[in-house]
Structure 1
């Protein structure tokens, strides 16, 4: 998936999560956007990879793309780190929700992800989309609609 699809996915997931928590939705959504692009630190051409090119190059050299940073292991390690070093629970929750949305969206691509890294099995949904293809644009459109729906539920109700 492209960066914009991951961003709208992080927003959608954060707004949905905000409906079932008492966390500040603005913090949750802001952190959700960061979390939604964070796993692509392993790809130099991604939004975050272009922002932090040296870190991206090191991670890509060590692990490759869609392996460690797209795994449950990375998600759990981030949860542990954030719970120990970040005081704001809404920020931590937003990062983790955004990361989870990223993993789910990339599981919907033909290449899938190494969700169980270091086990080298690729995980993907039975129906997949090509990154940047027309199916991804449909996913983007549906996520945009859900963003409006969940946003209305959080900010208007």
Structure 2
């Protein structure tokens, strides 16, 4: 998936989560956007990889692309660290929801992800799409509509 699809996925999922939990939707969306980009730190050409090039190269050298940072192990470690370092629930949940949305979207690609890293087994959906294809644009559009729906629900208070 492209960066824009991951971002809209993070927005849609964090707004939906804010609707369910009552957590601050503005914090959730900001954290969801960042979280939706974090797993691609392992790819030097990604937004996160370009923002943190040294960390990106190091992670890619050690683990490669779509392995450790696209796994349940990574989510557990990040969750553990956030529980110790971040006191604000909306921030922690937004980051996690964004990262989970990233993994789900990447499971829709032909490459899949190593969800159970260090086991090299790739997980992907039975029907997959190519990155940048018409199918991805349709997913982007659907996620945009979901974002508007939940955005209206939870941000109506601010409007």
TM-score bucket (shorter structure): over 0.9
Q: State the 1:132 CA deviation.
A: 0.9
Residue in 1 that maps onto 2:93: 93
Query: TM-score, structure 1 length as denominator?
Result: 0.98
Q: State the 1:80 CA deviation.
A: 0.3
Residue in 2 that maps onto 1:49: 49
Q: Deviations over 1:118-156 (max 9, x none)?
A: 011000000111011111111001000100011111112
Q: Deviations over 1:11-43 (max 9, x none)?
A: 000000001112111001100000000000000
What count of residue pairs does the alignment treat as equivalent? 157
CA distance in structure 1 between the partners assigned to 2:152 and 2:127 by the alignment = 30
1:19-34 matches, within 5 Å, as 19-34=19-34
Q: State the 1:112 CA deviation.
A: 0.3
Query: TM-score, structure 2 length as denominator?
Result: 0.97
Residue in 1 that maps onto 2:121: 121
Residue in 2 that maps onto 1:145: 145
Q: Which runs of 5+ in 2 are unaligned?
A: none
Structure 1 stretches of 4+ moved >6 Å: none
CA distance in structure 1 between the partners assigned to 2:126 and 2:152 by the alignment = 32
Residue in 2 that maps onto 1:156: 156
CA RMSD of aligned residues (A): 0.7
Greater CA drift, 32-41 or 17-26: 17-26
Q: Deviations over 1:29-60 (max 9, x none)?
A: 10000000000000000000001011000000
Residue in 2 that maps onto 1:72: 72
